[in-house]
Amino acid sequence: MNVFDALPVSFGSSKTEKDPNSYKNRNRDNVWQVVENGFSKCFEFSNKRPSTFPSQDGLFTHGKWEVETLQKLKEELNGVKSKLNSYNLADWHDHTRKNNYAGTVMRSLRKFQPEFLTQAWCKFYEVVSRYKLIPKQCLKKKLLNSVHLCEAPGAFIASLNHFLKLNHPEIEWKWFATTLNPYYEGNDLQHMVNDDRFIINTLENWWFGNDETGNVYGDNYLSSLIEKTKFLHPVYLVTADGSIDCLSDPAEQEKKVVHLHFTETVCALNILERGGSFLLKTFTMFECDTVCLMYLLRCCFTHINVFKPVTSKEGNSEVYVVCLGYKGKDHVPVLEKLNVYYYKEMKEALFSRNDIPDFFIQEIINCATKFKLIQTSVIERNIETYKHQHKRKRSRLQLMDIRDSTANLFIEKYKIRPISPKDFVVHDQDADAICLNLFPRDESGTFLERKMFKQLDTKAMLDFYKGKLDLVETDWDVEDIFWFTFSPNSKIKLNLKFGKPIEKVRTSKFCKGNLLAIYTELVKLCLETGVKIDIPDQLDLDKFICKNAIDTNDFSWTENYNECQKCFFEKFMSACEKLEVGDDLILKGFPLLTQFNVGVIFILGHLFEKVGFVNPSVSPYSIILKGLKDSDLKSLISSISSSMCDRKTDGLVSLVHITYLCESEILRCVTWINQITLKFLSLIMLKKLKETRQT
């Protein structure tokens, strides 16, 4: 069956046209050509000539070098991209989304109700359907073990599952994934995918390193990963979908991501079985570091392809390097040296220019040229349509034809069909129910305006923050104290996790990322300028049977979290020693931004009759634990203290497993409290900072 038999009737009648040169026929041919081209953005490296490893003694001993032709391509690409600097980022993205030839693919796929359908799901499905990512050994043994690096939010896994259930249901599949830990509050939100719907329901399959950060550059990450994945042996598929936010400097995207791609590759070479496949997301290939990495892959695998899926955003540089037929660790003599340089800054080139054959350099030039031309033509097309949008009805109709045809061809070409929900990775879970931090990144303003924002004077910056805060909805519609009681069926489940000490709180599962960013920036400004903030404290302690209140209002929780945590715990232990059944305990200035702090409330909430959250305008982040009902508190605190003493060099990241905090009714309560309190405190700081500037 011709794939175009499935195209929509908008292409015209299936009957033969009387005039083959009529507009209708010519238009149909043009549409077909555009659609086919969308699925043909690929480049195959020749394997006819042997590629040999340079001597490992020469690795990382030569300065960075350049290929003149590649630098010229880079200059030309950046010249075209620079035309976008004056466009509003949000408006531009909306325009390119509407004009994306593959823009209706996801909408068309929804009728099949795939699990966790995202753009990444579509991209991976294209790759795994087009290339033989599943090695013959797996088909023969009916067994596949896969490792997914930098995988958040998890769409590659859901996509692979769908593909296997449709095409190889007999295969027994096990998977293991890594990513930056979305729950580790020391991680920068800008470096993470802000979507944990899939992760929270499959946490047992995820690993965040020994330090709980998930950072691939972390201490002993490589050796620990190798050890951790031994239970999966043999690993026949590794995917690496990592990237870094380069909005601040898009012209140097390749240089910013090269070390990440190097670490992902070294991980794959260490854990893959002979004959295995490696899928690596990369971008342009203009710099020597990328050329060296590509040559390394060419030496390690029998087949190398570069592919840009039709569902990959048309105007960006994203491509996937598909590496098939791993030759095995025994055939990678430089692997030990690569492992040594895993943690080191790449100041020198992996290989010298003379180490790489001229024929391979020419292939890189051909590959880079092809994808550069694809990208620039799309950008120019989008600029042209942006200038003349709301015009040219015929062009809009043709765009609709292309989009619908691309979606139909995607379904036909890759034989998409539904699978049973019982075959999903996540069973019987409402993935959205316990995920509250799905907040989009701020894409307001043009690139030039965003660059200028960093140079704003303090007054302009404060006005900007005020405008953002005014958009945050807050509504305290209860009395001065909101009382909360845990369900009698809810139990304390201690699960202490230690990791890298958190110095600054940069993200939180328990509040909006953009609100936290404004709050922490204002705290930083106050500290830098010496501005003292008068925190309101009108809480009447005489109303409570309180022998001791733990006051941490003067703690700089977000800027010096680790020290604040230690000081708090000392005060906490001292206060608990004096508590008797029936007593109350009050915490003042205790922010609910981290797993540890929320875990404290989770534990105490089960040991006291009820928990009271005080209106921020009365006393911000003041929490009342009313009526101690369990004498086990002291032994519980003693157990935690003992564990902390055993891990003095580590930070206590959490007291309770994150899934319990997310499944508990306290999650929405704490998120609501944080939103109100952070806005309230931010407005106080804004006012004080403005007053200070005027004096």
Query: What's the pLDDT tens digit per position in 512-524?
Result: 888 999 999 999 9
Mean pLDDT in residue range 458-468: 88
SS3 state at 145: strand
What percentage of the chain's residues is helix, strand, coil (to nearest 5)?
50, 15, 40
Predicted local confidence at residue 243, as pLDDT: 85
Query: What's the pLDDT tens digit per position in 116-133?
Result: 999 999 999 999 999 999
Q: How far apart are CA 598 and CA 274, in angstroms?
A: 46
Predicted local confidence at residue 192, as pLDDT: 87
Query: What's the pLDDT tens digit per position in 152-165?
Result: 999 999 999 999 99
Residues 6+ apart with CB under 8 A from 562: 501, 502, 503, 651
Predicted local confidence at residue 450, as pLDDT: 46
Predicted local confidence at residue 77, as pLDDT: 96
Predicted local confidence at residue 27, as pLDDT: 61
Percent of the chain with pLDDT over 90: 68
Pairing of strands 623-628, 584-588: antiparallel
User: 576 — alpha (psi -120 to 50), left (phi > 0) or beta?
Assistant: alpha
Structure tokens at 536: 């309101």
Q: Give the position of tokens 């990495």.
A: 293
Query: What's the pLDDT tens digit per position in 615-625?
Result: 999 999 999 99
The CATH-assigned architecture of domain 56-70+116-367 is 3-Layer(aba) Sandwich (3.40)
Phi and psi at 575, nearest 5°, equal -65, -40
Q: How far apart are CA 410 and CA 302, in angstroms?
A: 28
pLDDT score of 22 more than 50:
no
For the ranges 109-113, 406-410, 603-607, the lowest mean pLDDT is seen at 603-607
Using an 8 Å Cβ cutoff, are 634 and 553 in contact? no
Phi and psi at 436, nearest 5°, equal -110, -10
Q: Give the position of tokens 């292409």.
A: 11
Residues 6+ apart with CB under 8 A from 146: 160, 173, 174, 175, 176, 235, 236, 237, 238, 239
pLDDT score of 489 more than 60:
yes
The residues assigned a catalytic role are 281
For the ranges 246-260, 316-330, 524-538, the lowest mean pLDDT is seen at 246-260
Residues 6+ apart with CB under 8 A from 13: none
Percent of the chain with pLDDT over 70: 90
Q: Give the position of tokens 């101690």.
A: 628
Structure tokens at 540: 């009447």
pLDDT score of 49 more than 70:
yes
CA 533-536-540 angle, to 5 degrees, is 150
Confidence of residue 12 (pLDDT cuts 50, 70, 90): very low
Predicted local confidence at residue 562, as pLDDT: 94
Closest to 565 (Cα-Cα) out of 606, 504, 508, 607:
504
Mean pLDDT in residue range 285-302: 98
Using an 8 Å Cβ cutoff, are 419 and 159 in contact? no
Amino acid letter, residue 463: D
Query: What's the pLDDT tens digit per position in 221-231?
Result: 999 999 999 99
Neighbours of 263 (CB within 10 A): 24
Q: Give the position of tokens 């490992």.
A: 56
Instruction: Please write down the HEC assignment for all residues of 517-563.
Output: HHHHHHHHHHHHHCCCCCCCCCCCHHHCCEEEEEECCCCCCCCCHHH
Structure tokens at 184: 């580790």
Pairing of strands 651-656, 494-499: antiparallel
User: 608 — alpha (psi -120 to 50), left (phi > 0) or beta?
Assistant: beta
Residue numbers in the known binding site are 154, 173, 241
Neighbours of 56 (CB within 10 A): 15
Confidence of residue 473 (pLDDT cuts 50, 70, 90): confident
Kindly list the strands in the beta sheet with 623-628, ordered across the sheet, starting from the edge strand earlier in the chain.
481-484, 608-614, 623-628, 584-588, 546-551
Closest to 139 (Cα-Cα) out of 104, 112, 114, 163:
163
Confidence of residue 691 (pLDDT cuts 50, 70, 90): confident
Query: Radius of gyration over alpha carbons of the chain, in Å?
Result: 28
Q: How far apart are CA 379 and CA 395, in angstroms?
A: 17
Structure tokens at 512: 């909006």
Confidence of residue 9 (pLDDT cuts 50, 70, 90): very low
Domain positions in the chain: 56-70+116-367, 456-694
Query: What's the pLDDT tens digit per position in 584-640?
Result: 999 999 999 999 999 999 999 999 999 999 999 999 999 999 999 877 888 889 999
* Between 444 and 428, residue with greater pLDDT: 428
Residue numbers in the known binding site for S-adenosyl-L-methionine are 154, 173, 241
Using an 8 Å Cβ cutoff, are 113 and 418 in contact? yes
